[in-house]
Amino acid sequence: MGPSADGSGEQKLTHEPRFKQGSIDGEIIVFIHGYMGTPRQFDNLADIVCLQGFSYTSLLLPGHGVSVKEFSEATHENWQEHVYNEIERLSLSYKKIWLVGHSMGCLLALHAAIKFPQCVCGVFAIACPLKVTYISAHAFVVHLKKFFGSKNSLINRAYIQFSGVPRTFDLIWRIHKPDFEFLKLQHKTRAILSQVTSPVVGVFSIDDEVTSVKSLDVMQSKLAGADFKPIILQDSLHAYYTERDKTTIEQALLQFIL
């Protein structure tokens, strides 16, 4: 997830969906990015599953990878429909589909697990935002570092390079509508969570400045009908992950799908 903690790699990223066919027949990993995210944030995990022989695809949600205006016009129905359409298309070629989501991508994945129980084998949910942190001293400090810190800092590199929406001035007045769309999706997901029957792994960071760890409590209480395994990270944020925590995620994902 995100740039390496050594800060290497200066190339400008392009935000495009990705696909690679693996040697394992009939199984595929589907990566779903979050709100204002990009398929490129899953590059490390995609390489890991690829080495194991899995096919993978990393989706690009509507309104991402384009202009702020197009982002502001996307709805949560657009995001969900895109995921549904991709899974329906993939199900024609793959009998087993594993969903890996980050942030809002987790919400979309959980809905898809309910809609396609015959082919979705499980959901690996990283920072699933069933509850979010609006105001806290920690979040304030993280935001200060992002806005006023060096663009070459490890944290800022993670947030800048792996954002699928341009940080242009018009984002200030256009972001309110997609914010509201996210909240509607969040509310719908909490309402249907108990319908999930696929295995779920929930990865949460203690220091996540966006996704509240209270989301874990919601998952544990609502996923009574599913095999749920929580993983708690100690040193990472919402979009920046230390090398140690990245290794934990990689190992947990492989254990989940193998």
Q: Is residue 146 part of a domain?
A: yes
Q: pLDDT tens across 28-54, in order?
A: 999 999 999 999 999 999 999 999 999
Using 50, 70 and 90 to split pLDDT, how confident is the model at 157? confident
The full 3-state SS of 37-91, as one line of letters, equals CCHHHHHHHHHHHHHCCCEEEECCCCCCCCCHHHHHHCCHHHHHHHHHHHHHHHC
The rounded mean pLDDT for the chain is 91
Q: Is residue 4 part of a domain?
A: no
Q: Is residue 9 part of a domain?
A: no
Q: Which residue is associated with the tokens 């996704």?
A: 211
Q: Is residue 13 part of a domain?
A: no
Total domains in the chain come to: 1
Residue 2 phi/psi, 5-degree rounding, is: 80, 180
| Residue numbers of the domain that contains 244 | 18-257
- pLDDT, residue 12, reads 54
CATH of the domain at 221: 3.40.50.1820
Q: Is residue 227 part of a domain?
A: yes
Dihedral of the alpha carbons of 202, 206, 208, 212, in degrees to the nearest 10: 70
Strand (E) positions, 108-252? 120-126, 200-205, 228-233
Q: Is residue 12 part of a domain?
A: no
Using 50, 70 and 90 to split pLDDT, how confident is the model at 147? low
- pLDDT, residue 30, reads 98
Q: Is residue 3 part of a domain?
A: no
The amino acid present at 193, given as its one-letter code, is L
Q: pLDDT tens across 162-214, in order?
A: 799 988 889 999 999 999 999 999 999 999 999 999 999 999 999 999 999 99
Q: Is residue 246 part of a domain?
A: yes
